[in-house]
Structure 1
Amino acid sequence: MSESNAIANGLAGAGGGIIAQIITYPLQTVNTRQQTERTLKRNKQSLLPQSSNSTKAPGTLLQIFQVIGSEGWGGLYSGLKPSLLGTAASQGIYYYFYQVFKNKAVAIAAARKVKGHGDGTVGMFGWLVVAAIAGSLNVLLTNPIWVLVTRMQTHTQAEKKIMEEKKEDLRRAASESTIAGSTLQDNLAELNSIKPRPYGTIHAANEVYNEAGIVGFWKGVIPALIMVCNPSIQFMIYESSLQHLRAKRAAKKQGDTSISALEVFLVGAIAKLGATVSTYPLLVVKSRLQAKQEIGGSSSLRYSGTFDAVLKMIRYEGLPGFYKGMSTKIVQSVFAASVLFMVKEELVKAFMVLADKSKKVVSNMSS
């Protein structure tokens, strides 16, 4: 029964994750671009090339319209295919192992109660450990997919940066009188006419492999593993809140202690909000590492690893750099998590009802 319960949760998690991903993907694309955009502290302006963006970034809604205007609707859904694969794999793996370890934790708590230790329930620390183990397995198995998704989401942004560097080189050459003014205008016009190249999953995979080999597919895995505390905090709040609701209803001696879809939605939103705010800086570092490193200009735009990224972000951008796009992420992740939890719980209920019906049919046929 516990095995079928784990499978039901794995399948439901994958289904809920896909639905939530499709609905909120445009926000996720814009958020990734916000996270990977470098903005200097005012007193550090001279340390990076003039082509780097140092102006205040536009709001989320304006950025969405800008992407649609310059890249079409497809720009908002760049990398959607591998993202859906990653979501299905990630949620399926996570919820499967989460349920497996959750069942073990419940069994251990029950056994401890029999021996006179504890009240038979899994405490907050227990939920934290269960979620952390499931999350670590998920990160190690699915990180390559998210590297490709990040590359595809930020490809146009990286191409624009490269183009800006080329234009700056041409202007510098013109100021040094190595090329004629008319030639400069012609070259700039030619660069402006170039559109970002089509960028598919295979192209992204080849680029990652050519840059860093197989190891490149696990870029950002260190902050990603540390970020396991995000779903750990999320599920600790989620499970504890649901347990509190059921206990409260049981104390009032209400006949039905089940949780409604709306209550699951609200509890999921609160849980994700708390987890997102506390771990967002790690998400920014992970996105920076997984995105295509800037070509040309100062080395401060490129990161060799997690520690290097953290030091350079503190030095050149200050603490605000670690919270870029957080408001977008809060809206996207909280809404996505709420939809995921709600859909998952309904799918689990449907799966268990079907399982019970199939068992009755089999028993009737055998009798």
Structure 2
Amino acid sequence: MSNAIVNGLAGAGAGIVAQIITYPIQTVNTRQQTERIVRKDTPTATQNCNYAKGNTLLQIIQVIRSEGWGGLFSGLKPSLFGTAASQGIYYYFYQIFRNKAEAIAIARRKKGLGDGTLGMLSWLAVAALAGSLNVLLTNPIWVLVTRMQTHTQAERKIVEAKREMILKEASEINSTDLSLVQAKLSELDSIRPRPYGTLDAAREVYEEAGIRGFWKGIIPTLIMVCNPSIQFMIYESLVKRLRAKRAAVKNGSTTVTALEVFFFGALAKLGATVTTYPLLVVKSRLQAKQETGGNVALKYTGTLDAIVKMIRFEGLPAFYKGMSTKIVQSVFAASVLFMVKEELVKACTRLVDKRSKLKLNLVK
């Protein structure tokens, strides 16, 4: 079994573990990113949603109270499939490109050029190539996941818009029939979010924009390829430095422990997340259902349009909504992923070695 396949399978398995552990935080974070609260000084400021207030823990409790535990795990099934596919594809191609880059570096060393190891630019190029292929192949899955995570939030906006319309119409005609208004409001309050599964999300996306709708947010997502690139550059640099330091010690072991991998993975993801977070917010908004409570001015036609309208109507802070939540979720998930992935690779390697030795003994 090639090391590319081993790393691909290990990455998929580790990604699933990390996703299951951190998914509730991810759901709340996606809702934070896609919540649009217009500044009061803009002409389109019509309504605010209480959902965006409070810290992450309070919002998790709020989701459980209003939607049950299932609300925190909306879209988990396609997310797990997407994570397995995404991590598998990424690590498979990452290892292939890394092997080729290392072969080129060794060939250059034989010619007297370089020390035979990969530099930071090489790590960035390898991670960027693997990340671009991953994004192009798996973006439709994440569009569906985002839709499912934010469906209840979008439905709530529709109800709020209808409520405002009823109250506005009642005030404009100076209605004295309070019972009729109350009946309409009670009927509105009785509406519950309809069942919404993967096929419903896929149908909705296709009806809105056809096949190309499944690649919404592809531009900021491709730009965000620099996130794992930065992450892997930091991670590989830290591991390389630690191993070099230990190798310099006589009879020193260059093995990196699971705890050290966890710590380096956390540092790497922290740096990458802080750097690229605004793009993640734009991507989430483009992929979510474009329901803004009737405010057409806040609907986005593309990446540039989204950026301009976010600055105009919400200000720069909109690009950092939910960043603290994302840092907790992504850093912890990345740490778990790196640690589990490395342990799975070690286990697979040991298993392959044992099978090879067993075959040799049988031949003898």
Quick one: distance in 2 between partners of 1:56 and 1:108? 50
1:149 to 145, 149, 159: 145
Query: Do the aligned partners of 1:144 and 1:217 also contact (CA within 8 Å) in 2?
Result: yes
* In 2: Cα distance, 1:253 partner to 1:134 partner: 37
What's 1:174 paired with?
170
User: Counterparts of 2:95 and 2:346 in 1: how far apart (Å)?
Assistant: 15
Counterparts in 2 of 1:178 and 1:151: CA distance versus 1, 3 Å = farther
Q: Which residue of 1 aligns with 2:22?
A: 24
Shift of 1:55: 8.8
Q: Does 1:222 align with 2:181?
A: no
- Aligned ranges for residues 36-75 of structure 1 at < 5 Å? 36-44=34-42, 46-49=43-46, 51-53=47-49, 57-75=53-71
Q: Distance in 1 between matches of 2:53 and 2:274?
A: 20
Distance in 2 between the 1:107 and 1:224 partners?
30
Q: Is 1:164 matched with 2:149? A: no
Of 341, 344, 347, the match for 2:341: 344
Per the normalisation by structure 1, the TM-score is 0.96
SS for the counterpart of 2:212 is helix
Query: 1:172: how far off?
Result: 1.2
The CA RMSD over aligned residues, in Å, is 1.3
Q: Counterpart in 2 of 1:138?
A: 134
Contact 2:26/2:326 (CA < 8 Å) preserved in 1?
A: yes
Distance 2:271 2:230 in 1: 8
Q: Does 1:297 align with 2:294?
A: yes
Q: Tell me by how many angstroms 1:253 deviates.
A: 2.3
Query: Equivalent residue for 2:274?
Result: 277
How far 1:86 sits from its partner (Å)?
0.3
Q: Residues 289 and 306 of structure 1 are in contact (CA less than 8 Å); yes or no, is this contact kept in structure 2?
A: yes
How far off is 1:56 after superposition?
6.2
Percentage of matched positions with identical amino acids: 71
Whole-angstrom CA distance in 1 between matches of 2:116 and 2:169: 75
Whole-angstrom CA distance in 2 between matches of 1:336 and 1:32:
15
Greater mean alpha carbon deviation, residues 287-296 or residues 79-88: 287-296
Counterparts of 1:333 and 1:142 in 2: how far apart (Å)?
19
Residue 40 of structure 1 deviates from its aligned partner by 2.0
More divergent stretch after superposition (53-62 vs 214-223) = 53-62
Matched residues in 1 for 2:32 and 2:69: separation? 18
CA contact (8 A) 1:39 1:55 kept: no
After TM superposition, the score normalised by the length of structure 2 is 0.97
Partner of 1:252: 249
Give the whole-Å Cα distance in 2 for the aligned partners of 1:357 and 1:250.
Answer: 27
For residues 173 and 202 of structure 1, the distance between their equivalents in structure 2, rounded to whole angstroms, comes to 37
Which residue matches 1:9?
A: 7
* Contact 1:131–1:231, Cα closer than 8 Å, also in 2: yes
Would the aligned equivalents of 2:8 and 2:90 in 1 still touch at CA under 8 Å?
Answer: yes
Which letter does structure 1 place at the counterpart of 2:237?
A: S
Q: Which residue of 1 aligns with 2:262?
A: 265
Q: Of residues 107, 114, 129 in structure 2, which corresponds to 1:118?
A: 114
Question: Paired residue for 1:202?
Answer: 199
Deviation at 1:296, TM superposition (A): 5.0
- Larger mean CA deviation between 234-243 and 354-363 belongs to 354-363
Amino acid at match of 1:274: G
Q: CA deviation at 1:285?
A: 0.1
1:107-155, CA deviations, whole angstroms, 9 ceiling, x for partnerless residues? Answer: 1100000000001110000000000000000000000000000000000
Task: Work out whether residues 151 and 204 of structure 1, in 8 Å CA contact, stay in contact via their aligned partners in 2.
Answer: yes
2:80 to 84, 93, 98: 84
Distance in structure 1 (CA, Å) of the matches to 2:295 and 2:195: 27
Match of 1:38, SS state, is coil
Per-residue Cα deviation, 1:265-296 (whole angstroms, up to 9, x for no partner): 00000000000000000000000000000155
Q: Secondary structure at the match of 1:293?
A: coil
CA separation of 1:286/1:26 partners in 2, compared to 1, >3 Å: closer, same or farther?
same
